[in-house]
Structure 1
């Protein structure tokens, strides 16, 4: 019988995590995602304690996601023009300081609704600038043939953070208060700061005509316009997320009206979706080794269709939970595969902009849907 250490060594040998720098970077990515999801959760609850206005509570989500639509393309251009390591380092320091300040100001009783929205927007902007640089950097840390599996591992990190972060933030807020929970969430950004400081970049910087931020955005859009592969990936992202956004929007209504569940039941449905997302992300690396990207995406779309039809047709909680789990698996399978396709097909000079355009496509589709 193999020892656990031998099993772990064998697992690492067949995984992108066998690269030491990628392992450290990956743990930093988990930390940054945890810090961000925890802050977003606590901020929404904090707003609910500051004002009875449902509109103000809803605006917290808007303040958190709006920067991705407003700044996403500029963030991609910045990550292609400037050293990505520096972009990640500066944004993580900004996120740490802004989140810690929000926590300290909350403890001191200085925070009002408008201040909370402003700081939430600032934190959302920092994370928006960070994401293209972080995802495009994966290409520099693993072999090209390992990129789809490495991107899938990134999906695992984000979905684990999305499942664990709100629960952890809620537990800390209940135990120590919202201010302390915000300060605790800020500490997770330290993991990526440490990871990036020890990262020795191996990719040679490409020489060419220097670009400004605006010209970088325009050249990225021209690339997408003239690249059939990139156009196809963006259109598939838009069409899938636009239709999938209906489930995100209606899940609370389904829990309340169709299934007769309260807040706890809604949390159970969301948790089932998160579990499915993690399982799906864990399965993607093996799937991408056996199937083409198109086959994986098509399978994910089919699974999403069947799962959402199951949720729509049933009033049994167990069946709805199974449907939510299947939807989570499909969601990650499609988005992670399309993201891997964008990074694999894009040349180095426009890689971060390709990532950013995919992210903007996802966010705009969810907003419109």
Structure 2
């Protein structure tokens, strides 16, 4: 839910929070996606439980978790690029058909008794490929479904829908698994995909307009990588996310063994535990506004780390089942605090033109940490046991959170809307978009005594140039006139430089003004464009 709903403000705020559901297309796709996610959670419960029947090895159990998250680590960035250059509706339909096929094969194998650990891991990996394609694509269509003023509410409703699915799907999956078996559970998942496909077919998405500056896959991929490499703020978010999820993954990787071996539970109890995490996440979303009033982003991540570590430590003592459910509710609170805080900061520092690719990098780090952590903690548990591994994960999480607390997360308050203040480059005749590379030169006049301040400002500006499209950058001085300083940067094509014109934000303009205040020339610095012959 949105801030206004969670903080208990008036009826008007509540109505505004659910306003996107008045848009029929958004409402249908939102409901279908909730049902689809419920089915996915049911499938995951069945797979996680079946592997404990097929093998008692903690490594095999952890491999299932790793197989589900590794594809997102490997494919999130390509998926983010694809969501920008392909028809998103058709891509989503293809992904749903693929996921339905995976669950259909699991249904047949489990019904015939031919399912093995190897088959289960391989099919879980294919399901992870579908999830990798689904995530950034679904996020990128939301602005198409609602008015701009309702976008934040729509994003919040998506988060609510995922947690609704998380609270219902695992419990329902565990109940169906215990009552009717794995084949019926997988069949229910196939049916959920059929409903999502029907909703996507019903949606008549308008054809995209070709602006003439559309990116191809490799060019868009390179642009996303360049932005990520040059964004120091994004680096801090990625570091904090990687460390948190690496240690917190231990409880997710070992939870089936905790439920079965330490707590003596059945498949339905395991589903109840996962459902409790989802319910706790919903409760956490409701208290987030009050927490934000008292804590900044760094404080919230520290709080989430302490809560998660406390739950892990408490599970070591094999508490009664009712207490374990309460602990998993608390785990859901800590989990949603970390997820919403880190994801929210990542979104706040990404401009619109690279948002999907930047979030894809974030998802890559998130799932990579989960996959590596799941596999690593499974191997550790094989050597020292599940309880000792949970203690090690909890201690590591708290220590890492305290050590990294000083690596402050960015505030995310900069104006990242395009400034459009760059004048169109002067050309004598039309230039082919694919021609390049292009060298841009900007000539300044800088007093000798102002040189240190100018260089410091240009150091910050160089990161902006690289984020927006430059693959090389430098500063030179004239040999006979040291006050003449030339900034140069290289862009791979003319089209990419024209895109660069539209990417420069108001925050970037402020960086440029910091450098311009040292310029002593009679007018603005001269700008020259050179094309490779």
What TM-score do you get using the length of structure 2 for normalisation?
A: 0.57
**How many residues are paired up?**
357
Structure 1 range deviating more: 193-202 or 219-228 = 193-202
* Residue 107 to residue 242, structure 1, CA distance change in 2 (3 Å): closer
Structure 1 range deviating more: 198-207 or 111-120 = 198-207
Structure 1 range deviating more: 154-163 or 54-63 = 54-63
| CA–CA separation in structure 2 for the residues paired with 1:118 and 1:249 | 17
- The match for 1:191 among 195, 199, 208 is 195
* Residue 48 to residue 304, structure 1, CA distance change in 2 (3 Å): closer
| CA–CA separation in structure 2 for the residues paired with 1:306 and 1:277 | 16
Which residue is 1:357 aligned to? Answer: 361
Which residue is 2:112 aligned to? Answer: 108
| CA–CA separation in structure 2 for the residues paired with 1:334 and 1:308 | 10
Q: Deviations over 1:149-189 (max 9, x none)?
A: 43332222223323322221222222222112111111111
Q: After TM superposition, give the deviation of residue 366 of structure 1 in Å.
A: 2.5
Structure 1 range deviating more: 86-95 or 297-306 = 297-306
Q: After TM superposition, give the deviation of residue 328 of structure 1 in Å.
A: 2.0
| CA–CA separation in structure 1 for the residues paired with 2:278 and 2:184 | 26
| CA–CA separation in structure 2 for the residues paired with 1:206 and 1:229 | 32
Tell which has more relative contact order, 1 or 2 (C-alpha 8 A, sep 6+).
1
Which residue is 2:75 aligned to? Answer: 71
Which residue is 1:263 aligned to? Answer: 265
Structure 1 range deviating more: 237-246 or 187-196 = 237-246
Which residue is 1:137 aligned to? Answer: 141
Q: Is 1:50–1:113's contact at 8 Å kept on the other side of the alignment? A: yes
Structure 1 range deviating more: 138-147 or 37-46 = 138-147
* Residue 348 to residue 88, structure 1, CA distance change in 2 (3 Å): farther
Is 1:297 the counterpart of 2:259? The answer is no
- The match for 1:339 among 334, 337, 343 is 343
* Residue 62 to residue 278, structure 1, CA distance change in 2 (3 Å): same
Which consecutive unaligned segments of at least 5 residues does structure 1 have?
A: 1-6
Residue 207 of structure 1: SS of its match in structure 2?
coil
| CA–CA separation in structure 2 for the residues paired with 1:321 and 1:306 | 18
Q: Indicate the structure with greater strand content.
A: 2
| CA–CA separation in structure 2 for the residues paired with 1:36 and 1:283 | 27
Q: Is 1:27–1:191's contact at 8 Å kept on the other side of the alignment? A: no
| CA–CA separation in structure 2 for the residues paired with 1:46 and 1:253 | 12
* Residue 330 to residue 137, structure 1, CA distance change in 2 (3 Å): farther
Q: Is 2:175–2:271's contact at 8 Å kept on the other side of the alignment? A: no
* Residue 117 to residue 250, structure 1, CA distance change in 2 (3 Å): closer
| CA–CA separation in structure 2 for the residues paired with 1:247 and 1:54 | 12
* Residue 67 to residue 239, structure 1, CA distance change in 2 (3 Å): same
Question: How do 1:1-369 residues align onto structure 2 when only pairs under 5 Å count?
Answer: 11-15=14-18, 16-51=20-55, 54-201=58-205, 205=209, 207-245=211-249, 247-248=251-252, 261-263=263-265, 270-283=274-287, 287=289, 297-308=297-308, 310-311=310-311, 324-343=328-347, 345-369=349-373
Which consecutive unaligned segments of at least 5 residues does structure 2 have?
A: 1-9, 374-533
* Residue 53 to residue 99, structure 1, CA distance change in 2 (3 Å): same
Q: After TM superposition, give the deviation of residue 84 of structure 1 in Å.
A: 1.6
Which residue is 1:4 aligned to? Answer: none
What TM-score do you get using the length of structure 1 for normalisation?
A: 0.79
Which residue is 2:440 aligned to? Answer: none
